[in-house]
Amino acid sequence: MRTGARPFLLILALVLGCNGSRDQLLADLQSPRPEVRALAVKKLAGQGNADDLVLFTRAAKDLAAIVRAEAAVALGESQDPRVVDLLGELLEDSDEEVQGRAAMALSKVKNDKAKAYLTLQYGRRGRSTRQVIVQALKSANVHDAMAEVVAAEAKAQWDRNLLAFTEGALPERVGAAEELGKSGRPEAVSRLLPLVRDSQVILAAAAVRGLGDAGDKQAVGQIALLLDESFPELRESAITALMKLQDPAVALKLQAVAVEKSAVSPLALDAILAFPRSPETDSALCAIALDGAPSEAMDAGRSMRARGGCPVEPIAERLARPATASSGLQAVASLGPAAQPLLAKVTPWLNQPDASLRMLAVEAVAAVGDAASVPVLQKLYEQEVKGLEAMRADWVTQKLPEKYGPGFDPATAPKDVHSHVPGDAERAAKHATLFERVKALNAARAREAGQPVVQHRVPTELYDDVEAERLAPLATLLRALGTLKAPGALDLLKGYSQDASSTLRMAALVGLTRLGQEGVEVAKAGLLEPERDLQKALAQALSEAGEPGQAALVELMPKMGSEKLLALDALTHGSGVPASASAALQAVVREGGAEAALAAQLLGRMQAKDAVPTLLKALDEPNSVARRDVLLALGAIGETQAAEVVARDLFHDLPEIRAAAATALKKIGTPAQAESLAALKGDYFRSVRESAGAALTKDGTAAGGAR
C-alpha cells in the first residue's frame, strides 16, 4: 500500500504545481507592471487553453502597448474566427508594434474577412505596418500580395477623390481636382479639362495644377491661354503646369510673361529654363536677357553662356542708341565672356554723363573680363570717391564712446532719493548681473559648439549723410576692380572690407573673392557678419570663385549656425563641391532639419561613398524632412549595400518617398526588389508608377548594381 501511494502523490503534486503556476499567471494579469502582464499573456497563450480567449480579449484593451501586442499574438494563435474584428481594431492601434503583431495574427486566421482587414488597412498605415501587412498576406498564401494591396489602395483613393470632386463642397473639390490629376489617368484629364475656364478661379487653378501633374500634353494649348488672364493665382498655376508638361512650343508665350516684369515673371523664366533645350527656348532666353528685369535678365544670360551666347546683332542695335543702350548693356553683363564681340560697342559708354548707363557699362566690361578697361575704371573710381568725400566726412572726428561714462550706467545708477521702495538699487544691480551672466553663458555655449560670438558693428556716426543708393556706383566699381584683378585691388578692397556702409562692405568682400586665395581668406570672415543679405551675396560669390571659395564655405559652415543654409544653397547652385566637403556635409545630415536635404543633395552629386553609412543612418529617422533627398543621394552614389534599406521605402505612405526610393533603386537595385517595384506599377500616383517602371528592365527584373 505504501508503494502504491507514491505514484498517486507524485501525480497530485504535479497537478497542484501546474494549477499553482496557472494561478500565479492569472494573478500576474492584475500586476501594475506592464511587462509582468505581457509575460503572463504570453505564457497563457503557450498553454493553448481555449477558455483563456476571454482573458486575451480583455488584454487587447490594456493601456500598455506591450500587453496589447502580446494579446494580438495570443488571439492569432487561437485561430478563432470570432477574434477577427478585435484584431482589426488592433491593426488601427496607435502603436506600430501592436499594428504589426495584429497583422501577422490576422494572417493565421486565414479567412476572407481577415484578408479584407489587411487589404483595407494597407492604405491607411505607415511604412513599417504596410511592410508587415504584405508579409502577412504572403503567409496567408495570397498570390502577388503587394500588387493586390497596392491596386486596392489605388482604387480606394480614386473612388474617394472622385466622390469629393463630384459631390463635395468647393474646398473639397479643389483638393480632389489636384489629387485626381496626380493619378495621371486619362479619365482624370477628361474631367479636369472642362474646369480650366471655370468661373470659380480657385477651382480652375486647382484643375490646371492637376493637369500639370497628369503629364498629358493635350492640355498644353488650353493652359497656355490662361497666361493672358489677369488673376495672379490662375497665371501662376498655369506656369507651374506648363513647367511640368515641358512643351517648348509655349516658350514664346512664357517669354512674354517673363519680360513683363511682374510678380510671376521669375516663375515664367524658371519654366523656360526647365524645358529641354531647343531653338525656341534659346530665342526666349536671349529675349529675356535683353528686355527682362535685371534679376531675370542675369539668370537668362548666364544660362545662355553655356549654350554659346546669343546673336550679337540685336544687342549691337540696342547699344547704338542711347534710348535702348541700357537693355543692350544689361544683356552684355548677363552674357559675360560670350559677349566678347560686342566689347567695342560697350566701352564708349564708360565715359557717358548718365550715371546709370555708365554703371551698366562698368558691369558689362567686368562681366566680359576686359582688362584693358582697368585704367578707365580706376579713373572713374577716383572721381566717385572725390564726389563722396565731403558727404562721407565724419561730423565728429573723435571715436564715439562704446561704454557708459562714470555715473551714467543705468545698472549702477544710485537710488532715487524720492523713492521710498526699499531695495531698488540692490534689485537693479542683481538684475544687471543676472543679465550679464546669461550673456556670458550663451557666449560659452556658442564657443563650445564651434560658433563664433557675432559682434554687431558699433556705428561710427550718429547720422550718415549718404544713402545706400548714392553709394551704389562706388560699390559697382569696387566689384569691377576686383573682378578684373586691377593692380592694387587687393589692398584697396581690404580697406573697404571694414567700411561702416554695408553696401560698400558687401561690394568689397564680393570683389575680394575674385582675387584668388588671399582675397578669399579676407572675404570669408564676412560670412559670420549678422547682415543676412551680405551673407547671401558673399556665399554666392565664394561658390562661384572656384575651389578656394568653395573650400572656404565648407570650412566656415559649422560656425554659421542656422545661417549655414545660405552656404549650402550657394554650393547647390554652384559649379562644384570640393572633395574635402564630405565630412562637413555628413555632420549637417546628422543634425537633421532643412539643411540636411541640401547636404544630402551635395553628397549625392559628389558620389561620396564614405557618406553611405551616414545617409543610411539618416533613414532611421521616420519624420526626417530630408528623407527624399537622402534616398536620391544614395541612388546617385550607387552603393549596392544600400539597396535593402532603400527598398523599405517602397512601402512608404508618401508617394514622393516611394517614387524617390524607386528612382534610387534604378541604379543600385538588385533582383530582390523586382517584385515590389512591379507591384508599384499599379500605384495610384503617376510619378510612382513611372519611377517603378523605369527601375525595371525589359524582362521585369530590377536594374542590377552600380555601374
Task: Burial-class residue 562 by CB neighbours within 10 Å (0-12, 13-18, 19+).
Answer: exposed
Instruction: Report which of 108, 105, 103, 106 is spatially closest to residue 131, judged by C-alpha positions.
Output: 103
Average pLDDT, stretch 677-690?
96
Mean predicted lDDT score pLDDT of the chain: 87
Q: Which of 252-261, 446-455, 482-491 has the lowest mean pLDDT?
A: 446-455
Residue 171: the pLDDT is: 95
Instruction: Report which of 638, 625, 616, 686 is spatially closest to residue 658, judged by C-alpha positions.
Output: 686
pLDDT at 445 over 70: no
Per the model's pLDDT, the better-predicted residue between 320 and 561 turns out to be: 320
Cα distance between residue 366 and residue 364, in whole Å: 5
pLDDT at 56 over 70: yes
Residue 706: the pLDDT is: 39
pLDDT at 241 over 70: yes
Exposure class string for 524-536: b at 16+ Cβ within 10 A, else e: bebbbbeeeebbb
Residue 467: the pLDDT is: 78
Cα distance between residue 191 and residue 201, in whole Å: 17
Cα distance between residue 286 and residue 278, in whole Å: 12
pTM: 0.84
In Å, what is the CA distance from 288 to each residue of 132, 177, 259, 328? Answer: 54, 34, 6, 11
Q: Which of 51-55, 252-256, 404-408, 549-553 has the lowest mean pLDDT?
A: 404-408
Instruction: Report which of 190, 236, 232, 233 is spatially closest to residue 211, judged by C-alpha positions.
Output: 190
Average pLDDT, stretch 155-172?
96
Length of the chain: 707
Average pLDDT, stretch 537-548?
92
Neighbours of 490 (CB within 10 A): 18
Residue 452: the pLDDT is: 56
Highest-pLDDT range among 14-28, 216-230, 690-704: 216-230
pLDDT band of 15, cuts 50, 70, 90: very low
Instruction: Report which of 91, 143, 80 is spatially closest to residue 117, judged by C-alpha positions.
Output: 91
Which helix (DSSP H) or strand (DSSP E) does residue 614 occupy? Answer: helix 612-618
DSSP 3-state of 702: strand
pLDDT > 90 fraction of the chain, expressed in percent and rounded: 72
Residue 469: the pLDDT is: 84
pLDDT band of 2, cuts 50, 70, 90: very low
pLDDT band of 574, cuts 50, 70, 90: confident
Residue 13: the pLDDT is: 38
Residue 20: the pLDDT is: 47
Average pLDDT, stretch 485-505?
92
Domains of the chain (ranges; CATH) run: 20-142 (1.25.10.10), 156-321 (1.25.10.10)
pLDDT band of 419, cuts 50, 70, 90: very low
CA 517 to chain centre: 32
> Which tens digits make up the pLDDT trace of 319-334?
999 999 999 999 999 9
pLDDT band of 433, cuts 50, 70, 90: low
pLDDT at 416 over 70: no
> Which tens digits make up the pLDDT trace of 632-670?
999 999 989 899 999 999 999 999 999 999 999 998 877
> Which tens digits make up the pLDDT trace of 357-369?
999 999 999 999 9
Residue 16: the pLDDT is: 36
Residue 19: the pLDDT is: 47
Region for residue 277 given its phi and psi (left: phi exceeds 0; alpha: psi -120 to 50; beta: otherwise): beta
Q: Which of 257-271, 325-339, 519-533 has the lowest mean pLDDT?
A: 519-533
Per the model's pLDDT, the better-predicted residue between 82 and 406 turns out to be: 82
The Cα diameter of the chain in Å comes to 134
Residue 648: the pLDDT is: 94
